[in-house]
Structure 1
Amino acid sequence: MTSKKKLIRVTTVPSSLIGLLSGQLTFMKRYYEVIGITSPNEYDFLKKFTDAEEIEVIPVEMTRKITPLKDFLALIRLYKIFRSEKPFIVHSHTPKAGTLSMLAAKLAGVPHRLHTIAGLPLLEAKGLKRILLNQVEKITYACATKIYPNSFGLKDIILEEKFTNTNKIKVIGNGSSNGIDTSFFESDLISSQEKNALKQHLGLTNKDFVFVFIGRLVTDKGINELIKAFVEINKRHPHTKLLLVGGYETVLDPISAYSMETIKTHKNIVPVGWQDDVRPYFAISHALVFPSYREGFPNVVLQAGAMKLPCIVSNINGCNEIISDNVNGFIIPVKNTESLIIHMERLYAMNPEDLHIMGEKSREMIISKFERKFVWDCLLNEYQQIENKLEPNFKTTI
């Protein structure tokens, strides 16, 4: 029996393993010997992932910030792991893991070095920081043998920025890093009793029209604009509520003092923090509002669509590949509070039957283009195409 080739998947932190690759590594175990690498922090996330996927995960301390000494130590550690494990493929996700693992894998002579891009934080950077991040991105792509942006819009941005060339870059399937399990994100799975209990717990009534945001409560997700828009909407329509599902990042990307204070004090804004299962919160809501500044391919919009919610999203890559304007939601300009107010009001004023039809169209489209098994099969096909080509021997380049 032929032994399986070794596949190593790398993310910066454990929550990214769960958020980006849930279920995928178990699927790939049928075809490859799979190892994960991520930071040892976020222990609960790491344990949850290893228990669910039943794969070996090697801890390597990596940070999401610029930390030269820690980054160098992580690079050395990754190099030693790759030299010892001799993988057929190293496939990385998230910016820091991508830079470190692609460089380490090239130095270690790994023949196939793949990096998935699920967003470009550098797009919001300016000045010297932007110049530095641009150079780091180019190094990452130069060390990789294939680059996989998880949306077509992101591919266009990468080529416009001249980070790499067309021969090295490819979108897997229709986009998305992992697709979505539409049998799990199914509104009928949440019972009326469960929905009523959650609404009662959160102080919501059947008269309320509930807008929901799910994600990190940070500036880059458009939270400052969302808070201003909702305050105005609620003045006009007191039976509106804004449900915020997610945690803050007060160091990396804090929201404004006004937004923070308003979230704490506004009686119709309901923050519930991080939730392991977001489906009940979709189920008690009428629409998702997701005014992000930048994305790769946003899972939350896939999830909301699968749960039959119309969505208001920014006109950015990923979002505008899931939502068709006036069909399964609305697309608005980035950082535009006034447009957000107009379209939140449009959804609020919509006939319930039209709102229902919009949600149904969302689910139909997600099933047809982004079902999880389809995305996994497309990625497996990519691996197998690589495998069937003539492979260089595993050798060191230094």
Structure 2
Amino acid sequence: MALVSNQAFSIFNFRGPLVAEMIQRGCTVYALAPDYDTASRAAVRALGAIPLDCSMSRTGMNPVRDLLDLLRLAWLLRKLNVDASFTYFIKPVIYGTLAARLAGVKKRYAMIEGAGYVFIDEAAPTKRRRLLRAFVTRLYRAGLSQADRVFMLNGDDKQLFVDENMVDADKVQLLNGIGLDLRHFQTTAPALPPFTFLLVARLLREKGIYEYVTAAREVKARHPAARFILVGSIDLNPGSIAESEVRAWVAEGLIEWPGQVADVRPWIAQASVFVLPSYREGLPRSTQEAMAMGRPVITTDVPGCRDTVADGVNGFIVPARDAGALAGAMRRFIDQPELVPSMGKAGRCVAEQKYDVHTINAVILDIMNIKPELKIPAHSLSQ
């Protein structure tokens, strides 16, 4: 198996259980990424996989570079002589799948974790955004035409991709997210007081960062002791928020910003309520992690986000881009603190029913026809 990503960190942090299960079932896994360092290389080796460097940019559209990267990747895959490929994130899905086809890889699988920012609905999209969306649509169409199966995380994304002729409906397998290890994310008692809200995301406009900060300003006017934590790093994406702006919010006393963290669990443990005011998601892992640790969630009524919350059961759903409604949901928790443990418990139940990584991985591996190794007991051999 050649697993192709454009971010080494994601291989062991998000794909670790899947890679480990592939290896346990007797599969050799080559893990390809462009940004390995000593630590990430060691982490991938610890899973039992073989880390390999490949050239691929995370963002940007440079047709010449992307074509060269595709050809280099095809050459590498042909040299490795793998039986199957598994790609995720936009560029690996498009260029990695095409490269696998060129290399003669027999089975090609892709995962769409979210449609991406170019498919977020805008009231008045710019001409540049319309052109970019048309270009990305054609690229997806080309890449996914060469995939045998495509894993997707919510029905809205499936409908979008099918309606835009980016993928055939019969190729799509819906999953309940990428899943998480529920033993790793265990329930902890919520922090009360002080009342603490937490948002974990890349610092992109479309993650609802501005709405979160605006809501924090409104809530702190009435409840100055309330804490608002923002965990995440500045990104290369066009929608990234400037570091100077984030530091200004910190200086104003609105938020706490530890940046990107290696382990989110201590930060979730500090939280009373998890918040994700995103404009569109696949099926957000951050929300699943918070639910697994017994935190209620405030999120938005958009694809992916609304799939994780039953309004009034394990959290509240508010309109996207509506800081006032977001602040109102936050105040409701402050005014009714008894909702925090009850909704948090309900969220943990949902996580156990839907988001167990081992259950989800079993579906993926069954579709890939990667069967458990047949282990013959030693006493049988002696007979």
1:313 counterpart SS class: strand
1:382 positional shift? 1.0
1:139 positional shift? 1.1
Q: Which amino acid aligns with 1:300?
A: S
**What whole-Å deviation, never above 9, does each CA across 1:198-226 have from its counterpart, x for those lacking one?**
xxxxxxxx642100011211112110111
Establish whether residue 71 from structure 1 lines up as the match of residue 66 from structure 2. Answer: yes
1:149 positional shift? 0.9
Aligned match of 2:364 in 362, 379, 382?
A: 379
C-alpha contact 1:222 1:290 (8 A) present in aligned 2: yes
Aligned match of 1:18 in 8, 12, 25?
A: 12
2:368 counterpart SS class: helix
Name the structure 2 match of 1:90: 85
2:238 counterpart SS class: coil
Q: Which amino acid aligns with 1:329?
A: G
* Alpha carbons of structure 1 residues 294 and 23: separation in structure 2 relative to 1, 3 Å: same
**What whole-Å deviation, never above 9, does each CA across 1:281-303 have from its counterpart, x for those lacking one?**
11111001101112111110000
| Cα distance in 2, alignment partners of residues 15 and 45 from structure 1 | 9
Name the structure 1 match of 2:149: 146
Name the structure 2 match of 1:272: 258
Superposition map of 1:261-300 within 5 A: 262-300=248-286
| Cα distance in 1, alignment partners of residues 12 and 370 from structure 2 | 26
After TM superposition, the score normalised by the length of structure 2 is 0.88
C-alpha contact 1:13 1:62 (8 A) present in aligned 2: no
C-alpha contact 1:223 1:259 (8 A) present in aligned 2: no
Aligned match of 1:102 in 97, 104, 111?
A: 97
After TM superposition, the score normalised by the length of structure 1 is 0.85
1:187 counterpart SS class: coil
1:238 positional shift? 0.9
* Alpha carbons of structure 1 residues 8 and 210: separation in structure 2 relative to 1, 3 Å: same
C-alpha contact 1:211 1:285 (8 A) present in aligned 2: yes
Establish whether residue 362 from structure 1 lines up as the match of residue 344 from structure 2. Answer: no
1:29 counterpart SS class: helix
C-alpha contact 2:198 2:228 (8 A) present in aligned 1: yes
**What whole-Å deviation, never above 9, does each CA across 1:160-200 have from its counterpart, x for those lacking one?**
3221221211113xx212x1111111134x9x9xx9xxxxx
1:272 counterpart SS class: strand
| Cα distance in 2, alignment partners of residues 45 and 329 from structure 1 | 37
1:278 positional shift? 0.9
Name the structure 2 match of 1:199: none
Establish whether residue 176 from structure 1 lines up as the match of residue 177 from structure 2. Answer: yes
1:344 positional shift? 1.2
| Cα distance in 1, alignment partners of residues 219 and 287 from structure 2 | 22
1:211 counterpart SS class: strand
* Alpha carbons of structure 1 residues 277 and 315: separation in structure 2 relative to 1, 3 Å: same
* Alpha carbons of structure 1 residues 235 and 296: separation in structure 2 relative to 1, 3 Å: same
| Cα distance in 1, alignment partners of residues 165 and 335 from structure 2 | 44
Name the structure 2 match of 1:327: 313
2:345 counterpart SS class: helix
1:337 positional shift? 1.4
C-alpha contact 1:229 1:341 (8 A) present in aligned 2: yes
1:233 counterpart SS class: helix
| Cα distance in 2, alignment partners of residues 48 and 319 from structure 1 | 34
1:52 positional shift? 3.0
Superposition map of 1:341-356 within 5 A: 341-352=327-338, 354-356=339-341
What's the C-alpha RMSD, in Å, of the aligned pairs? 2.3
* Alpha carbons of structure 1 residues 367 and 44: separation in structure 2 relative to 1, 3 Å: farther
Q: Which amino acid aligns with 2:10?
A: S
1:73 counterpart SS class: helix
| Cα distance in 2, alignment partners of residues 133 and 368 from structure 1 | 35
Superposition map of 1:101-250 within 5 A: 101-121=96-116, 122-124=118-120, 126-172=129-175, 175-177=176-178, 179-188=179-188, 207-249=193-235
| Cα distance in 2, alignment partners of residues 369 and 36 from structure 1 | 27
C-alpha contact 1:102 1:143 (8 A) present in aligned 2: yes
Name the structure 2 match of 1:36: 31
Aligned match of 2:289 in 303, 310, 325?
A: 303
| Cα distance in 1, alignment partners of residues 70 and 39 from structure 2 | 23
Name the structure 2 match of 1:340: 326
1:81 counterpart SS class: helix
| Cα distance in 2, alignment partners of residues 169 and 351 from structure 1 | 42
| Cα distance in 2, alignment partners of residues 44 and 18 from structure 1 | 13
**What whole-Å deviation, never above 9, does each CA across 1:36-89 have from its counterpart, x for those lacking one?**
1111x2515622532431211211011022122321221112111222222221
1:239 counterpart SS class: coil
1:316 counterpart SS class: coil
Name the structure 1 match of 2:379: none
> How many equivalent residue pairs?
362
| Cα distance in 2, alignment partners of residues 52 and 319 from structure 1 | 33
Name the structure 1 match of 2:47: 53
Q: Which amino acid aligns with 1:8?
A: A
**What whole-Å deviation, never above 9, does each CA across 1:330-349 have from its counterpart, x for those lacking one?**
11122111211111111221
1:261 positional shift? 5.3
Between the aligned residues of both structures, percent identity stands at: 24
